[in-house]
Amino acid sequence: MTMRQTLRRKLTGSIMLTALAVLAIVSICLLLGMARYSSAQFEDEIADVLTVDVLSEMNSGATGSTEGAAYNIEEILNAYAGRLRFGVDRTYSIWDATTGELVGGTEDAAMTKNVVTAMGGEIGNASPLLPTEMDIAIPIHGEVSLIVDIADDGRNMRTMFANVLLLLAAGAALSLLMCLFLSRIMANAFAGSAVQAAQQLREKSDKSLYPEGDWEAMAAAMYAPKKTKTRRGERSRDALDLILPYLREGYVRFDEEGNILEINVVAEELLGVSLESEEELTFEMTFQGVPMPQETQSMIRGQLIQNGRTLDVVFMALEPGMFAAILYPADGRMV
């Protein structure tokens, strides 16, 4: 993987995580806001119908037997069924405040925490943080103590939740596309900046020591390395492998069997060999009369005469079974 690709992946990941974090925060705030709005709207709609006068009428109707009182309350509630939206997404149930027995309304209604609260004489209107179902339990104080519990099945709330999740998924997909686009632009900009910086550095340095084009090639190689003289099937190269072929020193990489795997142009000219020759290039051919280094020898320095020139050479072990040689003219004069 090239450094440009690595940079693009890191930029894409960073921007995507930021975008997802923002989307998550916005979604949570939006859901909580909708939940509060839905709960408040539910309470307001019930309060607009069950006014003080209507509640007084219910208190007056809660007389006689429990069943008779529950019937009277049902008659009053049915008179406001349209405004309370009974039968659409809301139901009501009537409970005996003393025994907790269901005495009217929806037959399969379940007792809620708000009903328990109303049995203590207070209005029960608590709702969860993200309510999918809501209810309000109102105590009726007549000859018979009853509780009217109006429940909303949360159909509208669930629809809003589903829409928010759909928007979140669409936003995540759009963010991914934008991240890929931005990371590509930024990676190209960084690569261009690196090459420009290398050019400026070379122009300010001693041109006699730095051959034309090496700095630009090294910077470009870090982001978009060109095809180099490397045998097929070799391992993927890291940053060190990318830079070394463009150094002003000669660079040769070979394995423990003496096969030359990589060599830069400077080394080819210093040693008078070529990896593209018809005959397979080996250590023995490249470094004539020089013994192969061993893995136990992490670094060896010395000189050799090759192609009519005295060269300083450093052999080093890169990893098990892999070695490199760095060459430089002993007189300091480049090729």
pLDDT in tens, 3-59: 556 666 666 777 777 777 777 787 778 777 777 877 888 888 888 888 999 999 999
Q: Tokens standing for 186? A: 């930024």
pLDDT the model gives residue 32? 77
For the chain, give the longest Cα–Cα distance.
124
The HSE-up count of residue 240 (CA atoms within 13 Å, CB side) is: 7
Per the model's pLDDT, the better-predicted residue between 129 and 268 turns out to be 268
**How far is C-alpha 160 from the geometric centre of its chain's CA atoms?**
25
How many whole angstroms separate alpha carbon 335 and alpha carbon 322?
A: 27
Contact between 190 and 7 under an 8 Å Cβ cutoff? The reply is: yes
pLDDT at 297: 72
Name which residue leads in pLDDT, 291 or 38: 291
Q: What does the pLDDT average to over 213-217? A: 46
Q: pTM surpassing 0.85?
A: no
Q: Residue 229: pLDDT above 80? A: no
Distances from the Cα of 144 to the Cα of 70, 73, 109, 119, 124, angstroms? 9, 11, 21, 13, 19
**12 with 175: CB under 8 angstroms?**
no
Quick: pLDDT tens for 127-180: 776 667 788 999 998 888 999 999 888 777 777 777 777 877 777 777 777 777
At 247, the pLDDT band (50, 70, 90 cuts) reads low
Q: What is the DSSP letter of 50?
A: S
Measure the CA–CA gap between 307 and 295, rounded to whole angstroms. Answer: 27
Q: Pick 199 or 26 by higher pLDDT.
A: 26
Query: Average pLDDT, stretch 189-209?
Result: 57
Sign of CA dihedral 240, 242, 247, 250: positive
State the pLDDT at residue 192: 64
Confidence band of 208 (pLDDT split at 50, 70, 90): very low
Find tokens 């921007």 and name the residue. 15
Write down how long the chain is: 335
Of 82-96, 107-121, 234-248, 279-293, where does mean pLDDT reach its minimum? 234-248
| Axis crossing angle, helix 214-223 with helix 3-49, rounded to the nearest 10 | 40
What is the C-alpha separation between 172 and 187, in angstroms, rounded?
22
pLDDT band at residue 309 under the 50/70/90 scheme: confident
Q: Quick one: pLDDT band at residue 191, thresholds 50, 70, 90?
A: low
Q: What is the mean pLDDT of residues 111-117?
A: 90
* Average pLDDT estimate for 298-308: 82
Closest Cα to residue 329, out of 270, 289, 283? 270
Averaged pLDDT score across all residues of the chain: 77
**Of 2, 1, 8, 15, residue with least CA distance to 189:** 8
Burial class (CB in 10 A: 0-12, 13-18, 19+), 82: exposed
Q: Are 239 and 3 in contact (CB under 8 A)?
A: yes
What is the predicted pLDDT for the residue at 296?
77
Predicted pLDDT of residue 146: 93
d(CA 276, CA 144): 104
| AA identity, residue 252 | V
Q: How confident is the model at residue 237 (pLDDT cuts 50, 70, 90)?
A: very low
DSSP label of 124: B
Mean of pLDDT values over 54-75: 90
Helix runs in the chain, H state only: 3-49, 52-61, 66-79, 81-84, 113-119, 155-204, 214-223, 239-243, 265-271, 283-286
